[in-house]
Structures are given as structure tokens and as C-alpha cells.
Homo-oligomer: A and B are copies of this chain.
Amino acid sequence: MKAQKVDMFVIPMATPSDTTGLQKLADAGKIKPDTLVALVGKTEGTGQHDDWGRVWADVALREWTGNFLGIPAGDVAQRVIFVLSGGCPGVITPHIAAVTREIVEVSDAGKEKRMVVGRAGSEPMPPEEVGRMGQIHKVAEATKRAMADAGLSDASDVHLVMVKVPGLTVASIRDAESRGKTVVSHDLTFGPEGAGSYANDAAALGVGLALGEVKESALSDEVVRRNWDLYSEVAMTSSGGEKRHGEVVVFGNSAGSQSALTIGHAVTKDFIDAQGVRNALRSAGVRFKDGLPDEADLGRLVHVFAKSVIPGSDQVRGQRITLLDDPDAYQIGKALGGMLIASVTGRTTNYVSGGERNSHQGPPGGNIVAAVVRT
């Protein structure tokens, strides 16, 4: 029978266009043109609209990958999924995590569940569907197919779902309106009423629907970014105006896997909840000693993926904070998540995205943390 063998390599980057770490992995045979399935990373810069660090990294990584795969850079997207999150404020080291997947022949399935990964593209999403039920349903459908691709049938085995969906642009709004359709927002930002936020949150609800975290009957266009009681505990989503289809990558554990890795996750209960981060490490299999991750065992921790969504309330544990009124909240909010994770993992090469206010990615006030551990 066939089984997945998944691996993950975390490589710090010295500049946005630094591919030397990837090249070393390639030279050592750890990543191969046939096995590379995803590059997930944090790129340095402000993470804001005029941050060219992320764009440059995307160009440089796509060019390197095209060369590596022997295909044009423009075709890389069909073979390798890129999730590049801009902005490394504070204690977030710019880095890339390369994910590989091999299909190996095994006599019988292992006893322990080990990491698997699955991918799927969605149906095209026209602009009038962005941030609405259309997008939710198409992400849900793609999530189910990505689960199937990963060989996962039980939602409780899914620990992280990364999704990229189309957002809105001036051009796509014009297109929709010329056809007599409305769009969810004319604000193209990731602000509270921004199209980017609606797209991300519809995607998160789509994941929640596929995994049974959110009921179909509870969903409608009106609940998106309104009813925060609806959320996924494993969805990390992003959106871009240039896309027409959604892309979904599912990470989970399966008894059929031959990987040396396992994945786990947890959610924080609020913005300062280090215990939630520790729970994620524990869930993935890190050993604890005296209530803290055993430092001797932290070497087995491969990577952490975390959101740092800013709470919608100005209260944390009953006291006021001023973050909601801070014009730099986007960057500071992301930086704070980086510190919360780093103070637990004892390292700075953590994937932490966020800075937006409120989300269906994780519970109200809390955030998602997933961890990958080498067995």
C-alpha cells in the first residue's frame, strides 16, 4: 500500500531574495523537484501595502523554484504552493519553511498517527462571491478535497488549513458591477470593513464548515465579520486581488503516514495567553517538565504556525489596553504575537501572521497556534 512521507525544513533568510538555504537543502538532496509541495514563510519588511520585501521574495523564490523544477517561474504555482506572509516586526526571524511530500510503498500502516499534507484548488470565485456564501462554499468544498488528497477523513485529525482566496480589486469590482452584481465592500484594505478581511473570513468559515466546526444553518452573508461565535480553530487564511481560484493546503496526522513528523494545535484564550501556546506544543508531542516545555526536548520542535489577530475589544482580562486606537496596531499586533510564541518556544524562527482586527480564524480574542514536532 502507498503512504505519505512528509518533511519540513525551516530556513532563515538573510535578505528577501536569499535562496542560499534552499539551495543547500537541494544540494543535500533533502528537497527534490518531485517532492517540494509548499514554501511557507515570513518575509522581512513592514508587511504593509508599500512593503516591497514580500514582493521581491516572491519573485526571487519563484525564480529559484522554477530553475529547480526546470519549468518557467510562471508555472511554479501549479506545482508548489507559496504562502508568503509579509512583515517580521520584533522577534520574528525572516524565514521559509519548505514542505516536501513523497509517496512511498509500505507493507502496512504505522500505529502512530504521523503528519500528512494535502492540497486542492477551488472552483473560480467571481468578485460578487468574495466575502460571501459563494466563497464559503467553494473553500469548504476544496478543503474536503484537500483532506482527501491528504488521506484524512476525520476532521479531528486536521490541525492546520492554510487557504489563499481571491480578494477584490478596482477592476474586479467594476466587472461585477457592470454585470449588475454587488460586492461585499468598496474598501480594498484589511481594515474592519475591508474586502481583504471579508475574503479571509469567508475562507475561514469555509474551512469551519468543511470540518464541522460551523454549521451550514448558522451561515449566511450577514454573519461574515458580524457573528464572532462562528470560527475555525485551524484555519489560517489570506487573500489577494490577483487570484481567481482558492488554494487549500491541509496539514494533519494519519495512521497511514510514514513521516517522522507530527502536528498538533491549540488556541489561546486571549491575547496574552502563553498557556495556549504551550498547549499547542503539548498537543504536537513536545515533552513538558515542571509545566514548561522540556528544553532538552525543544530540539524536536520543527516549527510553529500562529495567528496574532488583534482582539475586537479594548479589554484584556478586565483591563483596558489602547491597541485599538493605535495607528500602528497592525504592526504592533503582529509583533506581540511573535513575542508570545518566541517566549515559549525559545526561538525566533516562528511563522506568525496577523495584525488585523477580529477574525473567524480562532475564537473571539484568542488565536490559533499549530506546532510540528519531529518524532
Contact = CB atoms under 8 A, between A and B. Distances in A.
Copies of this chain, how many? 4
Interface stretch (A104-112, A150-158, A209-217, A321-329): A321-329
B271 A91 contact: yes
A354 interface: no
Interface string A43-55: 0111011111101
A172 interface: no
Contact of A93 (B14, B319, B340, B348): B319
Given A44-B50, A56-B52, A348-B316, A92 B321 contact: yes
Given A45-B50, A52-B53, A90-B332, 11 more contacts: A16-B56, A44-B52, A49-B325, A50-B326, A51-B52, A56-B56, A89-B322, A91-B336, A92-B321, A274-B343, A317-B347
12 contacts: A48-B327, A49-B326, A51-B52, A89-B332, A93-B321, A272-B342, A272-B348, A274-B344, A316-B342, A321-B348, A336-B339, A339-B343
A186 B312 CA distance: 12
Interface string A9-44: 000101111000000000000000000000000001
Contact of A52 (B16, B194, B272, B343): B16
